[in-house]
Structure 1
Amino acid sequence: MFAPFLKKRIRNIYLSLIIGLTVFFLYNNSSSSQSLVVETEITTTESTNSESQISIQYYPEKEIRHLRYKLDSLLKRINKRHDFHGAILVAKKGNILYNNQVGYADFKKKTPLNEKSVFQLASVSKQFTAAAIMLLNERNQIKLSDTVTAYFPRFPYKQVTIRSLLNHTAGLPNYFWVAEHKWRSKEAPTNSEMMALLESSNVQRYFKPGRNFDYSNTGYFVLASIVEKVSGTSFSSFLKSNIFEPLQMKYSYVYNPKNDSIHENQLDGYRLYKGWRHLKINNTVNDAIVGDKNVYTTIEDLYKWTLGLNSGKLISQESLDLMYSEGETVYGRKVPYGFGFRINTEGQKIIYHHGKWNGFRTGLTKYLEDDLVVIVLEHTSYSAMTSLNKKIKKIIAENLEV
């Protein structure tokens, strides 16, 4: 006698289930079609209002499928032919076109690279040092016209200004040479120890400040030392609280092998031996100096840096313009370097920097007219960074219609 009731109950449940599933699929299809860009919000630690947000956006897959195929093919080819083990990120007009990696993080364990692999930036680190200086300048804690002796009275090279350090016109000697020939301890010197060594070593400078352009790692370690002196904290702590945390670069840090422990996913640098074996590159006497190198980060964190720097969230437009402008000698000759960036004005203006240190090969390039950013990070002594950038640029030009 309960059979008709049960049949009706089951039929109602079945109909309700069908209606629910239909509504679910219609809603999801509608939601996915409303937005062409996948967006992840990155909020600074200082504020949660809309003006303080930086977003990472991606091109929809259907619009860049062929482009991705071309870049995937390039990545596989350079891995096989040229021993490239690293990552590439390409973004145009604020949208990521491509973000991928190939090869190994650890050759002994055969661990593959992934999106959280942390690379040493080598000389690409210099732009963080320059930004730290611009932050202090904006806060009226320093002036670009100040001399180093205003902060380090015993600094042996007179009339060297902060500006001349930034655009490599200070004429300072190479601290690599000083460490290799004058340093007596088995442990690598830190910034403070190298500053003291410069004071006592009596090494002559190359030329008087402002007369020429000479790319100088020394200048940028001195700048980092000024940041520490003025801020009263370590260079590592200053970047963490003033740059990495505000931009939510949560996998980024300054690493000093003398004082710091190795972080998770932190890569070693390698070199290829006899065409098949990868050997870790040993530490050197110059490894503990920061400011000219030793910023570590992931490829996506480095992209967050470009967004933050160029959006006005970190420094003013006036400061950014200075960083992106060619320097000058005292004779009025232009030099191909701004503050932390190389400047190429042949054809369209290109703001870029490459890095090379202990097996790491890095590059960050911004093509201003195309609003195109290309980031390449590698850790097995890859030697064709300029050529690779040109190949990536060509693929973008030929396969993207925007």
Structure 2
Amino acid sequence: MKIVAFAYVMWLTAQTVLAQKTVAALDSVMRRNFPTDQPGGALLVVIDGKTVYNRGVGLANLETKTPITPETNFRMASVSKQFTAMAILLLEKQKKLSVDDNLLTFFPDFNPRVGRKIKLRHLLTHTSGVLDYESRLSPNRNNQIFDAEVLALLKPQDSTYFEPGSRFRYSNSAFCLLTQVVERVAKKPYLEFITENIFKPLGMNQTTLYEPTRTIPNRAMGYARNPDNTIRFSDQSITSGTQGDGCVYTSLTDYKKWNEALAANRLVDLQAQLERVNQPLDGQPDGFYGLGWFFTQTKGGGKELFHSGSTCGFSNCVVWIPEQKTLVVLFSNLADNHRPFADVLNVLKANMNLSGDVWALHNLTN
């Protein structure tokens, strides 16, 4: 028994040393990539269900010098799409719609040549071929567009990029249309529905959506880097007001609650839903997209999920490996700033035996 106890103590000591080494390496990555007096980042690493790292570096607001913490709310950009998809799944669970309903079910005045062919599952898998709303905007426009106007722009269009369901083409338009489906079916604003059905039940009390006059608690402002390496304010653009494709604001603290709920199937069984709502990706063996997630199938039959988010002033990346109870989240309030995430994954691969399939996930959108 003494030998067994000694072996356990030695193993525990080795694990502690490894964890300390990992934290030190992650600290180095964060300090190297995020100066304390500039826009920064917030990193959460959960391995085997245990929080290994949960810290912020840099400033959420350069004017007020507010530091970034795990409670800082970042604009999620396309990481928002997983919340939009969940809203649709919840309405389906309530038997108020089906992912096989077409657009004419909800919008009878949609051009029938398009509306009868595009199903919700096509929107949820980026296989609708619906036109990019960004391409329909005037080059002289300077006011923000919102989801309802996206719907109005797309309703009269009589063509798609390809036959719906035939191929993958990433589409922000699709997820803007999904918020309008939610509003039409739930008979309430999208913000109200997602707050009542997702944010509040999961205790995500500081998570919200961007609206021009809405106060966002603990808000990180967005920035971008000029060619001469100076920093400029870059918090909003004309396309950053749409909700379905990108304007959830959340923090590491609240995103961890979201992930824990997904892992426990508190809202729906996401992995089971991904089995029926997905699209294989060309050129990516075992690569798929569905419901706001890129994912690969592991040899053991599980999934490794990934999504990034990029907008005028923010860069975000998330990797979730349910089988390993592993979550890696990096939010940054600096545009075009995904390099630090690759550095984080390098540390975890070297020190924590993180699955090599994560690299395929990271390359799906980078």
Q: When the two structures are superposed, what TM-score results if normalisation uses the length of structure 1?
A: 0.75
Higher Rg = 1
Aligned to 1:218: 173
CA distance, structure 2, for counterparts of residue 68 and residue 273 of structure 1: 31
Unpaired runs of at least 5, structure 2: 1-14, 355-366
Q: SS state of the match for residue 362, structure 1?
A: strand
How far is the alpha carbon of 1:80 from its aligned partner? 4.8
How far is the alpha carbon of 1:369 from its aligned partner? 4.0
How far is the alpha carbon of 1:191 from its aligned partner? 1.5
Aligned equivalent of 2:256, options 285, 299, 303: 303
Pairs within 5 Å for 1:223-242: 223-242=178-197
Indicate how the Cα distance of structure 1 residues 335 and 195 shifts in structure 2: closer, same or farther if over 3 A, else same: farther
How far is the alpha carbon of 1:91 from its aligned partner? 0.7
Q: When the two structures are superposed, what TM-score results if normalisation uses the length of structure 2?
A: 0.82
Aligned to 2:294: 342
Aligned to 1:54: none
Residue 95 (1) aligns with residue 50 (2): yes
Aligned to 1:26: none
CA distance, structure 2, for counterparts of residue 357 and residue 131 of structure 1: 22
Aligned to 1:45: none
CA distance, structure 1, for counterparts of residue 118 and residue 65 of structure 2: 48
Q: What is the identity, as a one-letter code, of the residue corresponding to 1:266?
A: R
Q: Does the 8 Å contact 1:327/1:334 carry over to 2?
A: no
CA distance, structure 1, for counterparts of residue 182 and residue 17 of structure 2: 47
Residues 234-284 of structure 1: per-residue CA shift (max 9 Å, x gap): 111111111110110111001122xx3232321221012354532111632
CA distance, structure 2, for counterparts of residue 89 and residue 326 of structure 1: 28
Q: What is the identity, as a one-letter code, of the residue corresponding to 1:280?
A: F
Q: SS state of the match for residue 249, structure 2?
A: strand
Residues 104-128 of structure 1: per-residue CA shift (max 9 Å, x gap): 1122333321232110000000000
Q: Does the 8 Å contact 2:195/2:208 carry over to 1?
A: yes
Aligned to 1:193: 149
CA distance, structure 1, for counterparts of residue 47 and residue 141 of structure 2: 48
Aligned equivalent of 1:139, options 80, 94, 116: 94
CA distance, structure 1, for counterparts of residue 343 and residue 158 of structure 2: 39
Q: SS state of the match for residue 242, structure 1?
A: helix
Aligned to 2:321: 367
Q: Does the 8 Å contact 1:310/1:320 carry over to 2?
A: no
How far is the alpha carbon of 1:141 from its aligned partner? 0.4
How far is the alpha carbon of 1:371 from its aligned partner? 2.5
Q: What is the identity, as a one-letter code, of the residue corresponding to 2:77?
A: A
CA distance, structure 2, for counterparts of residue 365 and residue 209 of structure 1: 29
Q: SS state of the match for residue 238, structure 1?
A: helix
Aligned to 2:220: 267
Indicate how the Cα distance of structure 1 residues 325 and 365 shifts in structure 2: closer, same or farther if over 3 A, else same: farther
Q: Does the 8 Å contact 2:60/2:220 carry over to 1?
A: yes
CA distance, structure 2, for counterparts of residue 91 and residue 244 of structure 1: 21
Aligned to 1:169: 127
Aligned to 1:377: 331
Aligned to 2:40: 85
Residues 104-158 of structure 1: per-residue CA shift (max 9 Å, x gap): 1122333321232110000000000111111011110001110011000122223
